[in-house]
Amino acid sequence: MSDASRSLARRAESPWRLGGLSLREFTRRVGAAAVQHEIFDRAAALSYYFLFALFPTLLLLAALLGMLGTPHLMEELMSYGEAVLPPIVASLLSQTLVEVVAAPGRAALSVGIIGILWAASRGVRSVIVALNVVYVVERARPWWRRQVVAMLLTLAFCVFTLTALALLAFGGRIGEAVAAWAGLGEMFTAVWRVVQWPVAILFGIIGMDLTYHLAPAARGRLRWLSPGAVVAITGWVVASLGMRIYVANFADYNATYGSIGAVIILMLLLYLSAAMLLVGAEINAVIERTVPHAPPTR
């Protein structure tokens, strides 16, 4: 096959061509697959497991963050979370982070980070089961291999999250240092402060692509910046900002439900996150089933 023919073949397999389907037909297939796989019911189940995995994950993040040896970094990172999350959810997570880095959390950490990682990976194990359904995997991995994959993905998620947050926290300082070294003036610093947000989102998309590739027991080509990952991360950002605006301006859950209002909003946010993850997976799965090659089971 000539270079031109190989180039045409790669272009034909580009996920952004939607398998050669029209946008209307592609949307119909994704909708039909979502109904068939009951992804919104599965998203409710995932949000339940996410809730139980959230606090061990926060402890793991706090432990990894402590290794950086940077004082007051936790407070600075939480300020970026408050810019996206609903206020009562950000307050709940901030309070939880303060508690898990206290003495009991450090004692638990001394018992073994593997145990914390095992508990934190519970949500990822539930994601693996759900994605096996979405990708129509007939034979799942052995349970021990599923645990190892879940723990590795959980650790990778924490590393990606910390890297993205560190870029947000130190992006302005990095931009100032580079601008001073290169003599580019304040314009470069201003541009960097705008670009750091898309870079953080890019890290999220890459992490989502890795999840779609590694979590289900189906061997397919790793596609960077896939349509499913872009839709999932974009949908999550829009949903989070939308909930933040709604809760801040149109609903007072603390007045209606008291202190449990924060938990209700957190569960709703976890449900929307799980739904976006599964919708993105359905998009990629439909594309994989439409292009000529089909992924064999691994």
Closest CA to 210 of 227, 196, 225, 231: 225
Whether 212 and 228 have beta carbons less than 8 Å apart is answered as: yes
For the ranges 46-60, 128-142, 153-167, 186-200, the maximum mean pLDDT occurs at 128-142
Among 29-43, 130-144, 214-228, 278-292, name the most confident range.
29-43
> pLDDT value at position 35?
93
Q: Retrieve residue 11's tokens.
A: 């272009």
Using 50, 70 and 90 to split pLDDT, how confident is the model at 30? Answer: very high
Every domain of the chain and the residues it spans: 24-290
pLDDT at 274: 92
Looking at this protein, which amino acid is placed at residue 169?
A
Phi, psi (rounded to 5 degrees) for 200: -65, -40
What is the overall mean pLDDT for the chain?
A: 76
Q: Highest mean pLDDT range out of 49-63, 67-81, 272-286?
A: 272-286
CA distance 44 to 65: 30
Question: Cα-flanking dihedrals φ and ψ of residue 54, to 5°?
Answer: -65, -45
Q: Tokens for 9, please give them.
A: 């073949």
